[in-house]
């Protein structure tokens, strides 16, 4: 499809395990964003990539969270030693360039992570 | 930093009723303001936006006006349809990559 693709759509894991969430942005979009949406809350910013580099990772909650985008396209959000509080929907978005101030971000459907 | 507070839901309406969802913001400077919508089974998508004071954003019969004096960006629609059932998020941005979202308001429209 032509939209932002996120896999898996659902992931159930046990506390302490390692998890990877993948985002395939719209072709040609240089900007990529990760947000986290906990139950009953709005999405919260995690990290922003412009090309291959993380331009701002200030939203990552702690050093268990890491994200990469090695070729400037697909991105992987990695969570080590998962905790129950990591349970949330992880949203990925992309845009032609940094465009949060125009709102022209295209969001995927999210990956729902449940940590038991 | 920026933050947004929006009316809590859920909101249940009958078709053709008037909908309003309140949203207020706090920010340094003058952020851009947005309403995003998430339909069942779909990703977040931009509904409308306003980038400066007194701007009115509109789309699909929805409207919101950027009010600097009241720091508000309330969403309104005069006659809702069942297809408007969704979760609505107010958001703001002061730079080109970070959005601050409200908690979301679930709207259900009954036929």
Lowest mean pLDDT among A90-94, A95-99, B9-13, B58-62: A95-99
B contact residues 37-96, partner A, Cβ 8 Å cutoff: 41-46, 49, 51, 89, 91, 93-96
Q: How confident is the model at residue A37 (pLDDT cuts 50, 70, 90)?
A: very high
For position B51, what pLDDT does the model report?
92
The position carrying tokens 């920010």 is B27
Q: Higher-confidence residue: A104 or B93?
A: B93
In chain B, what residues touch A4 (CB-CB under 8 Å)?
43
pLDDT value at residue A103:
77
List CB contacts (< 8 A) between A107 and chain B. Answer: 43-45
**Interval A76-85: pLDDT, tens:** 999 999 999 9
Flag whether pLDDT at A31 surpasses 70.
yes
Pairwise CA distance, residues B108 & B10, whole Å: 8
| Mean per-residue pLDDT of chain A | 93
**Inter-chain Cβ pairs, chain A and chain B, closer than 8 A:** 76
Contacts of B94 in chain A (CB under 8 A): 101
Burial of B16 (0-12, 13-18, 19+ CB in 10 A): exposed
Q: Which of B43, B97, B104 sits opposite A55 (nearest CB)?
A: B97
Residues of chain B with pLDDT under 70: none
């Amino acid at each position: 499809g032509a939209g932002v693709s996120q896999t898996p759509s659902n992931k159930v894991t046990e506390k302490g395990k390692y998890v990877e969430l993948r985002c395939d942005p719209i072709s040609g979009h240089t900007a990529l964003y990760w947000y986290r949406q906990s139950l009953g809350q709005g999405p919260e910013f995690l990290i922003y990539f412009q090309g291959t580099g993380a331009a701002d990772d200030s939203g990552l909650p702690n050093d268990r969270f890491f994200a990469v985008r090695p070729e400037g396209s697909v991105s992987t959000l990695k969570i080590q030693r998962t905790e129950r509080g990591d349970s949330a929907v992880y949203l990925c978005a992309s845009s032609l360039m940094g465009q949060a101030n125009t709102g022209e971000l295209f969001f995927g459907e999210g990956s729902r992570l449940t940590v038991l | 930093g920026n933050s947004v507070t929006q009316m809590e839901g859920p909101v249940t309406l009958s078709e053709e009723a008037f909908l309003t969802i309140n949203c207020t913001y706090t920010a340094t400077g003058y952020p851009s303001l947005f309403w995003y919508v998430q339909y069942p089974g779909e990703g977040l998508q931009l509904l409308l936006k306003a980038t400066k004071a007194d701007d009115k954003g509109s789309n699909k019969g929805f409207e919101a006006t950027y009010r600097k004096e009241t720091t508000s960006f309330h969403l309104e629609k005069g006659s809702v349809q069942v297809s408007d059932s969704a979760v609505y998020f107010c958001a703001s941005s002061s730079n080109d990559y970070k959005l601050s979202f409200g908690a979301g308001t679930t709207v259900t429209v009954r036929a």
